[in-house]
A and B are shown apart, each in its own frame.
Chain A
Amino acid sequence: MAEEIRFPRLGWSMEEGRFVQWLKSDGDLVREGEILFEMEGEKALQEIESVGNGILKIAADAPQPDEVVQVGRLLGYLLLPNEKVPEDGSPSQPTVLTDVQPKADEQGPQGIEPAEDSISESRVIATPRARRLAQETGVVWSELVGSGRDGRIREADVRNAAKALNVSSQGVHKDGANRFTPRRKMIAERLRMSREQTIPVTLTTQVDVSQLVAYREMQKKMQNVRVPAFTDLFAKHVAIVLARHPAMSIRWNHDHTELHDVPASEFHIGIAVDTSDGLLVPVIRDVSTKSLDEIVSQSKALIEKARSGRLTREEMSGGVLSITNLGSFGIDAFTPIINAPEIAILGLGAIRREPMFDAYGQVKAVERMVLSLTFDHAAVDGAPAAAFLKDLVSEIESVH
């Protein structure tokens, strides 16, 4: 029986996603567990495994690479050798689908089973012209899905990819080209949803981070390869303080109707990462139970993955609170948007050297920054949020 392949739902709120590319070609023999295609759910790329065995027949109206696709859309079939696509199989144009023949060169000696060693081969093929254009536009053609025979990547595929992908860093955006790319659209929808479902209030305060700055300087002098970033240090301290503020350690359920406690053992902290593909928020796991060193190495790996576009959806979900840092741009205070279903996000501002009166009335130089805490007033009131922020400030300032 022909097995349908449909566009899956990855997250609780996902209605549509971006179909990135097939990783198998039409006519390939696919085994259970092999990666079939790549898609992008919310902010993350995800590789989708095959749940069955058969010869891949891509549906005639299957989405093109980078197309935004409704969850549940038919992508193709897994067929037995010589099996035909079911007449009524496709909810959209079933009549367009044609007979399936395994590729001649993949037939076994008897022409029944594809030869064993041909299975592993799924070479991506691009025409010379497509390769040239890819080089000129900076498109990585090997990641595309071709519209040509047997999935061959053609000039038009690269041209579309160049248009769709944000490759402005390569300077290929022509005047007038649409910059609202599918990725951008995805981010926008996510943020808009947050705006609609939360009641954000932002609190700001100042914190003396002299101790943190000194600590980092010391680490640098020790030539420690893994010097923690301010975000890492804040993540550690946020987890410590959160444990003392159960009112703040909560999360929304999938349809935003229930609030649930998050135990300290599950304090995962999101960190906002700016990439050429847009804003991504990978999550550092188990911050409470991890050493600072472990946190640093985890966050470095996540940032690396984010920048190379290889984050999975898993790695971007499950946070209790996120941290975003605009300090390097000289921003002091801002109003970060909550990464729902979390209920709060902490913004870090620029570190500035300023004079301050100490307890004895003496002026001394300190390193200071502004913290901007946006919390969801629907989930928590101002007082507990402010108490959390105050506690965080004293926690940071008492570091030695």
Chain B
Amino acid sequence: MSNMDTHIDRKVVLQLYRTMQLIRQTEEELARCHQRGLVHGACHTYVGQEAIASAVCSNLNDHDAVFSTHRGHGHALAKGMKPLELIAELFGREAGCSRGRGGSMHLFSPEIGMMGTSGIVGPCILQACGGGYSSKILKNGTVGVAFFGDGAANNAAFHEGLNMASIWKLPVLFICENNQFATEVPFAYAAGNSSVASRGAAYGIPGIEVDGNDVIGIYRVAKEAVSRARAGEGPTLIECKTYRTRPHAEGMGDFTYRTKDDVEQWKQRCPILRLRTRFSAEYSSEFDAIDQEILEQVRAARAEAEASPEPTSESAMTHIYSPPQIVVKEKPSPDRESKVITFSQATLEALTEEMAVNPNIFVMGEGIGIRGGNFLTTKGLYAIHGPERLCDTPICERGFVGLACGAAMTGTRPVIDFMFADFVLDGLGEIINQIAKMQYMSSGRLKMPVLLRGCIGIGHSAATHHSGSYYGMLAQVPGLKVVVPSMASDAKGLLKHALRCHDPVLFLEHREILQTKEAVPVDEYEIEFGKARVIQAGSSVTVVAIARMVHLVLAASESLKQQGISVELIDPRTVTPLDSDTILQSLAKTGRLLIVDEAPAHCGFSAEIAARMVDVGFNELDAPIKRLTGAFCPTPYSPSLEKVVVPSVEDIVKSVVQLMQE
């Protein structure tokens, strides 16, 4: 495509030149600094590809959200980040854009719409969809932009992201920077269809290929794509063919997969040189002035970065979570008016109430729209709020979890309804690497109010893909909160809190207890995380249980009472944060602790409680801590097999009696 004919504004030319030159000079300075040992970790430069970020971002404003990759320095600078913030970040300094927490691959400046770069290839595509989805919910006209390499174009995130953007007509730009290699693997080898742009058609969106070293060409295509997006006409895929002329990362060997000649040839096609040559007649002196100015600017930034202090050690563990939300309306005392409803009804009430008052909440999942959810989690809400806030999804768990991440980053409050928590696993990377870590990596400047809910639990021959309990595993992830209620009234209060707090919450509901009933207060309330509930007071033995096991222990304690054994039953209700204090207090009273858990013992929830109590409660122990848990085994189907792998009421009775004899 030729742009020679059409007139292009002087201001635009000079601005594009300035941005490209800023990126080039900064990168070259960083390469030198890397050699000098000032850059502590990885350093992927953008040298050779400057035209793309410069052209695309010159069409964006501070509210448009850019999501980028490991090769993100150029995107950050083009979006408006000051070189000092970038350089200082790579130097690991407090003045860095991520306060020294991220380095080259984790650049955050949400204030200017630089939502973040990622060390994982792919997620930025889904997050840009989330930015687009927020734009639809908030109706603020913003655009989400994903920059990614040719490597990411073969990743599931690309396919799921493009499809979602297409069906929901999201205001998103997918900018593929095809530099022909993913590290050292040629795109020609890795792709069955070597045209990325042509893949747009597969998802029903426009796919355009441009010369990635022609800044004016990209500028024009991007301009059109942005205006289409803002006009509600949906996403555009733009493949920019380019080449990086420095190694994949500083310090890496370069000539096992390409030749010096190849690199030299591409250097001749330098985008900065090209623009300069094309407009040398008109703006030669301006270009010179810009060169000089940038040179000085970068030098000064480097000097300032080098002189700036390192972050203090106290900040190492701040911003893992948002500051706690103060709970104004606590759970009313039992004498207040209440009604007996099921666990399901209780959570539905919580969601219904919160969606009514918070227009930023939207729900995504399979069959949660008109159908109202497989487990009636959204019953009746579609009729009130419509398809945008009750959004049925394609079966792309990773995709819509990644989207939820980007949506939360850009100001909405997504609720992901997994139906079965087993499906969480398909989105695990997005949850653990992105959602959970985002607040910390952005040093608390991003909030991540994402609610991920799904059913767990063994029973009714659900078999192994519809019965897992994943709280033990996910409770190990810093940045996540893991809630596993057992009682209807708790489920309501905890879900309300989840829908108000600013942290990502994994809310797991045991399928076998959805129909259990409890008196639920009529007055509005929420329940803070990290507060265990003493379900039943007792004196002989402390039993800690969670989810369905709470109900089983209650049944067991009836027959234990007849044997003169008085069970104190504690439900932690949240696995992260875990309320050790309440358990310790009980242990101090009884001296005996049994933990009953449906999930396997190994490295799990029960192990954590046992370890904590041995530590803080050692002197309280009058017997070894015992655990009764599910088997370390996939869940079998046949009822005769299934019942063997889960603790039963009889098992609980037996374990308690044995513990009393220890």
CB distance from A136 to the nearest CB of B (A): 11
Q: Are B661 and A127 in contact (CB under 8 A)?
A: no
CB-defined contacts of A127 to chain B, threshold 8 Å: 591, 621-623
Closest to B617 in A: A128
Answer yes or no: A148 CB below 8 A from chain B CBs: yes
Asked whether, in the complex, the Cβ of B661 is within 8 Å of the Cβ of A128, the reply is: no
Interface string of B602-642 (1 = CB under 8 A from A): 00000000000000001111110000000000000000000
| A149 to B, closest residue via Cβ | B662
Complex contacts, B620 vs chain A, CB 8 Å: 128-129
A146 to chain B, nearest CB (A): 10
Q: How far is the CA of A149 from the CA of B662 in the complex (A)?
A: 5
Most chain A beta carbons < 10 A, residue from B618, B622, B662: B622
A128, A148, A152, A154: which has the most chain B beta carbons within 10 Å?
Answer: A128
Other A-B pairs, 12, CB within 8 Å; known A128-B620, A148-B623: A127-B621, A129-B619, A129-B621, A129-B622, A130-B622, A131-B619, A132-B619, A152-B662, A154-B622, A154-B662, A155-B591, A156-B622
Chain A residues lying within 8 Å of B662, measured Cβ to Cβ, are: 148-149, 152, 154
Interface string of B133-175 (1 = CB under 8 A from A): 0000000000000000000000000000000000000000000
Q: How far does the alpha carbon of A154 sit from the alpha carbon of B662 in the complex, in Å?
A: 9
Q: Which residues on B sit within 8 Å (CB–CB) of A154?
A: 622-623, 662
A148/B661 in contact, CB under 8 A:
yes
Q: Please indicate the chain A residues that have their CB under 8 angstroms from the CB of B623 in the complex.
A: 127, 148, 154
For B658, give the chain A residue with the smallest CB separation.
A149
Residues of A within 8 A of B621 (CB): 127-129
Q: Mark A106-139, 1 if CB is under 8 A from B, else 0.
A: 0000000000000000000001111110000000
Instruction: Determine the residue in chain B with the shortest Cβ distance to A131.
Output: B619
Contact status of A149 and B619, CB under 8 A, knowing A129-B591, A155-B591: no
Given A129-B620, A154-B622, A154-B623, A149 contacting B591 (CB threshold 8 A): no
A-side residues, CB < 8 A to B, are 127-132, 148-149, 152, 154-156
Interface residues contributed by chain B, number (CB under 8 Å): 9
A-B contact list, 25 entries, CB within 8 Å: A127-B591, A127-B621, A127-B622, A128-B618, A128-B619, A128-B621, A128-B622, A129-B591, A129-B619, A129-B621, A129-B622, A131-B619, A132-B619, A148-B623, A148-B661, A148-B662, A149-B661, A149-B662, A152-B662, A154-B622, A154-B623, A154-B662, A155-B591, A155-B622, A156-B622
Hey, which chain B residues are within 8 Å of A152, CB to CB? 662
Which residues of B line the A interface, CB within 8 A?
591, 618-623, 661-662
Residues of A within 8 A of B618 (CB): 128
The residue on A at minimum CB distance from B620 is A129
Q: How far is the CA of A148 from the CA of B661 in the complex (A)?
A: 6
Question: How distant is the Cα of A130 from the Cα of B591 in the complex, in angstroms?
Answer: 10
State in angstroms the CA–CA spacing of A148 and B591 once bound together: 13
Q: How far is the CA of A380 from the CA of B160 in the complex (A)?
A: 114
Q: B661 to chain A: which residues have CB within 8 Å?
A: 148-149
Chain B residues within 8 Å of A148, by CB: 623, 661-662
- The CA of A129 and the CA of B662, in the complex, are separated in Å by 13
- A388 and B617 CA atoms in complex are apart in Å by 68
**In the bound complex, what is the Cα–Cα distance between A321 and B646 (angstroms)?**
74
Bound-complex Cα distance A349 to B165 (A): 109
**Docked pose: A154 CA to B661 CA in angstroms:** 10
- The docked-state distance in angstroms from the alpha carbon of A127 to that of B590 is 13
- In the assembled complex, the CB of A158 is this many whole angstroms from the nearest CB of chain B, namely 10
A128 to chain B: which residues have CB within 8 Å?
A: 618-622
Q: Which B residue's beta carbon lies closest to that of A156?
A: B622
Interfacial chain A residues near B622, Cβ < 8 Å: 127-130, 154-156
Shortest distance between the CB of B623 and any CB in chain A (Å): 6
Nearest B-chain residue to A133, judged by Cβ: B622
Instruction: Name the 6 nearest CB pairs between A and B, nearest first.
Output: A129-B622, A155-B622, A127-B622, A132-B619, A128-B619, A129-B591
Kindly name the residue among A129, A152, A155, A156 whose own CB sees the greatest number of chain B CB atoms within 10 A: A129
Query: Once the chains are docked, how many angstroms separate the CA of A127 from the CA of B619?
Result: 8
Residues of chain B within 8 A (CB-CB) of A130 are 622
Expressed in whole angstroms, the Cα–Cα distance for A132 and B591 within the complex equals: 12
Bound together, the chains give a CA A129 to CA B584 distance in angstroms of 13
Nearest B-chain residue to A157, judged by Cβ:
B622
Q: How far is the CA of A156 from the CA of B592 in the complex (A)?
A: 13
Distance in angstroms between the alpha carbons of A141 and B662 in the assembled complex: 17
Give the one of B618, B623, B662 with max A CB within 10 A: B623
Which residues on A sit within 8 Å (CB–CB) of B619? 128-129, 131-132
Chain B residue with Cβ nearest A135:
B619
Report A36 CB to chain B, min CB distance, Å. Answer: 24
Report the separation of the CA atoms of residues A132 and B619 in the bound assembly, to the nearest whole angstrom.
6
* Separation of A155 and B647 alpha carbons in the complex (Å): 29
Cα A152 to Cα B623 in complex, Å, equals: 9
Report the minimal beta-carbon distance from B155 to chain A, rounded to whole angstroms: 53
A266 to chain B, nearest CB (A): 52
CA A128 – CA B618 in complex, angstroms? 6
- The CA-CA distance from A292 to B207 in the complex, in Å, is 117
- Whole-angstrom distance between the alpha carbons of A132 and B623 in the complex? 13
Q: Chain B contacts of A129 at CB under 8 A? A: 591, 619-622
Docked CA distance A172–B393 (Å) = 70
Whole-angstrom distance between the alpha carbons of A154 and B622 in the complex? 6
A154 to B620, CA, bound (A): 11
A154 to B624, CA, bound (A): 11
CB distance from B11 to the nearest CB of A (A): 77
**Shortest distance in angstroms between B546's beta carbon and chain A's nearest beta carbon?**
25
Cβ-closest chain A residue relative to B587:
A129
Q: How far apart sit A97 and B221, CA to CA, in the bound complex (Å)?
A: 89
Distance A155 CA – B662 CA, assembled complex (angstroms): 11
**Chain A's nearest CB lies how many Å from the CB of B472?**
26
Q: How far is the CB of B552 from chain A (nearest CB, A)?
A: 25
CB distance from A26 to the nearest CB of B (A): 13
Expressed in whole angstroms, the Cα–Cα distance for A154 and B591 within the complex equals 10
CA distance A130 to B620 in the complex (A): 9
How far does the Cβ of A57 sit from chain B's closest Cβ, in whole Å? 16
With A and B bound together, what is the CA distance between A131 and B618 in angstroms? 11
* B404: min CB distance to chain A, Å: 46
A152 to B660, CA, bound (A): 13
When C-beta atoms are compared, the residue in chain B nearest to A147 turns out to be B661
A176 vs chain B, min Cβ distance (A): 22
Q: Nearest chain B CB to A268's CB is how many angstroms away?
A: 47
State the Cβ distance, B279 to closest chain A Cβ, in Å.
81
A155 to B592, CA, bound (A): 11
CA–CA, A132 and B618, complex, Å = 10
- Bound together, the chains give a CA A152 to CA B659 distance in angstroms of 13
Q: A149 to chain B: which residues have CB within 8 Å?
A: 661-662
Chain B residue at minimal CB-CB distance from A130: B622
Q: How many angstroms between the C-alpha atoms of A154 and B619 in the bound complex?
A: 12
**Distance between Cα atoms of A127 and B622 in the complex (Å):** 5
* Identity of the chain B residue whose Cβ is nearest the Cβ of A152 in the assembled complex: B662
- In whole angstroms, how far apart are the Cα atoms of A132 and B587 in the complex? 14
A246 to B465, CA, bound (A): 99
- Report A-chain residues with C-beta under 8 Å of the C-beta of B591: 127, 129, 155
CB nearest neighbor in B for A158: B622
A131–B591 Cα distance when bound, in Å, is 12
**In whole Å, how far is B333's beta carbon from the nearest beta carbon of chain A?**
34
Bound complex: CA A127 to CA B587 (Å) = 14
Closest to B618 in A: A128
Contacts of A156 in B (CB 8 A): 622
B652 shortest CB reach to chain A, Å: 19
**What chain B residues lie within 8 Å of A131 (beta carbons)?**
619
Give the shortest distance, in Å, between A334 (CB) and chain B (any CB): 48
* Minimum CB distance partner of B614 in chain A: A128
Q: Report the bound CA distance from A351 to B204 in whole Å.
A: 119
> Could you tell me the distance between the alpha carbons of A155 and B138 in the complex, rounded to whole angstroms?
63
Q: How far is the CA of A115 from the CA of B591 in the complex (A)?
A: 34
Closest chain-A Cβ to B613's Cβ sits at a distance in Å of 11
CA distance A133 to B622 in the complex (A): 10
How many Å lie between the Cα of A53 and that of B227 in the bound state?
96
Q: Across the interface, which residues of B come within 8 angstroms of A132, CB to CB?
A: 619
* B590 → A minimal CB distance (Å): 10
User: Could you tell me the distance between the alpha carbons of A50 and B564 in the complex, rounded to whole angstroms?
Assistant: 38
How long is the Cα–Cα vector from A155 to B623 in the complex, in angstroms? 9
